Amino acid sequence: MASMRRLVVDVEPLKADASFRRLWIGGALSSVGSRMTTFAVVLQVYQLTGSSAAVGAVGLATLVPTLVVGLIGGSLADALDRRKLVLVTGSCMAGVSLLFAVQAFAGNEQVWLLYMLVTLQSLLFAVDLPARRTFVPRLLSKELLPAGLTLQMLVFHLSMMVGPSLGGVFAASGGVKVCYLIDGLTFFVALYGVVRLPAMRPAQAQARPGVRSIYEGLRYVGRNRIVAGAMLSDLSATVLAMPFAILPALNTLAFGGSPSTLGLLTAAPAVGGVLAMSLSGPVGRATRKGAWLLGAGGVWGVALACLGLTGQLWLALGLLAVAGAADATAVVLRGSIVQSSIPEEFRGRTTSVDFVVGAGGPHLGNFRGGVVASAATPSVSALTGGLSCVVAVGLVALCFPALRRFDSAADGPPAPGPGSPEQHSSGESLSAGDPKMTSGRSVDRTGERPGPLGGGAHP
C-alpha cells in the first residue's frame, strides 16, 4: 500500500491550501470548456476551407500576439496585483468566448472573423497566463510545488481528453456553437476561484513595467543556463513536432473523416497525459529532473515519428497517447525546474518568457505541420517533425550540460537582490564575458495552453 501511494499522484496540495483547491477546481471545469472551443475552432476552420494550412494559420493568429504581448504581461505581473490583473483579463476572455458563440449561431462563413477572434483571445491570454502562473508558487511551499504543478497538469490533460471528446459529440449533434457557448459559461466558474484568492502583489517593490523591465527579464533568462536550456528543449519539441494541425487531414485521409473520430485523435494525447500524471509519484520525487526532461522530449519525438508510419486507428491513438504522456511529464518537469531556479523578483517576467515559449512554440509548430502536410502528406509531416525533434533534443542535451546535470536536491534559486541576474541557478557566479553564457535561443506548455490550437505541449 505504501508503494502504491508513492506511485500515484500526490494530492496533498489540495488538502493543504483551500485557495489552491478552489483555484484548481474552477480551472478544471473551465479547461474543459476551453478545450471544446479549441476543438470547435479547428473543426470550423477546416469545414470552411478544407485546408490543413488554413488550420495551421490559426496558430499564426495566436503566435503573433503571444510574442508581442507575452513579455509585456510578465512585466505587468511583476508590478501589479496579479489577482486583480487576472480578474480583468479572465472576464474579457469570457466575453470573447461568448462572441465565438454569437458568430456560430449567426451562421458565419468568413474564416477571417475566426482568425480575428483568436487573435483577440490570444492578446488577453498573453497577459493573463504569466500572472496566473505565479499563483501556485505563492500558495504552496517549495516541497509541495512539484505536486501542485502535477495536479494542474493532470487537469490540463483531463480537459484535453474530455473537452475534444465532448466537443466531437456536441459538434456532431448541435454544431460548434454549442461548444463555444459552454466554454463562455464555464469561464465564470474559474473566475470564482480567483475572486477568493488573497491579494497577489509582488513580494517587493518592482521597477515600473516597460521596456527596461522586459529587458532585465530577458537578460536574466539568457544568463541562467538551466532555465534557458529547459525552455529550448520545449521549443525543440513543439516547433518541430506539434501534431494537432495535421489531425483533421489525417482523419479524413486515413480514418473516415467523422468528427467523432477526430475528437478521439485530438483527445488521445490527453489520455496518455492523464495516465502519466496519475502515476506521477516517481517523477515528482525525481532529483535528476533535467535528465528526465530531456528523455521525455526524446520519447515525444519518437512517438510522433512513428505516427507518420502507421495507418491503423488503434495504433495512431496509442502513439498519440504515448506522446501525450511524455509531453505531460516534460511540462511538469520544466515548470518545476524553472520555478525552483528563479528568484521572486524575476518570477513574473521569467514566467512570461516561459509562456511565450510554451504558447508560441506549439502554434508555430502547428503552422509548420500544416504547411508540410499540405505540401506533402500528413504522414510525412509527422515523420519529419518527430525525427527533427529527436535530433534537436539531443543537441540541447549536449549544449546545456547544466540542464542535463540539474539536481533538484542540490540546485535552487539564486539569492534575490540586485546581482541576481548574474547568478547561475545553482548559485555559481558567472561574468558577462564568460563564454559559457553564450546561450542559444532561450525563448513552453506549463502547458496551460487552452487557446485554439494550444493543445498538447504546454497547459
Q: Is the pLDDT of residue 168 over 60?
A: yes
**Residues 217-258: tens digit of each pLDDT:** 777 777 778 888 888 898 899 899 888 889 988 888 888 788
| Nearest residue to 234 via CA among 1, 8, 9, 457 | 457
Q: Which band of pLDDT confidence, cut at 50, 70 and 90, is reported for residue 424? A: very low
Burial tier of 422 (Cβ tally within 10 Å: 0-12, 13-18, 19+): middle
* Residue 208 pLDDT: 62
**Residues 4-59: tens digit of each pLDDT:** 455 566 778 888 888 888 888 888 888 888 889 988 998 899 889 888 788 878 87
DSSP state of 429: B
Q: Quick one: CA dihedral 253, 327, 167, 117, positive or negative?
A: negative
Q: Which band of pLDDT confidence, cut at 50, 70 and 90, is reported for residue 207? A: low
- As a whole number, the mean pLDDT across the chain is 77
Q: Which band of pLDDT confidence, cut at 50, 70 and 90, is reported for residue 398? A: very high
Where do we find the cell 488550420?
55
Q: Is the pLDDT of residue 279 over 80?
A: no
Can you tell me the distance from the alpha carbon of 205 to that of 208, in angstroms, rounded to the nearest whole number? 9
Q: Which band of pLDDT confidence, cut at 50, 70 and 90, is reported for residue 137? A: confident
| Nearest residue to 403 via CA among 283, 301, 293 | 293
Q: Which band of pLDDT confidence, cut at 50, 70 and 90, is reported for residue 202? A: low
Helices (H) and strands (E) in the chain, counts: 20, 0
| Nearest residue to 446 via CA among 322, 323, 362, 344 | 362
Distances 61 to 113, 128, 345, 446 between C-alpha atoms, Å: 11, 17, 31, 21
| Nearest residue to 155 via CA among 11, 24, 324 | 24
Distances 41 to 93, 100, 175, 275 between C-alpha atoms, Å: 15, 9, 11, 27
The C-alpha angle 394, 412, 225, rounded to 5 degrees, equals: 35
* Residue 394 pLDDT: 93
Give backbone dihedrals phi and psi of 371, rounded to 5 degrees, phi first: -65, -45
**Residues 349-361: tens digit of each pLDDT:** 777 777 777 767 8
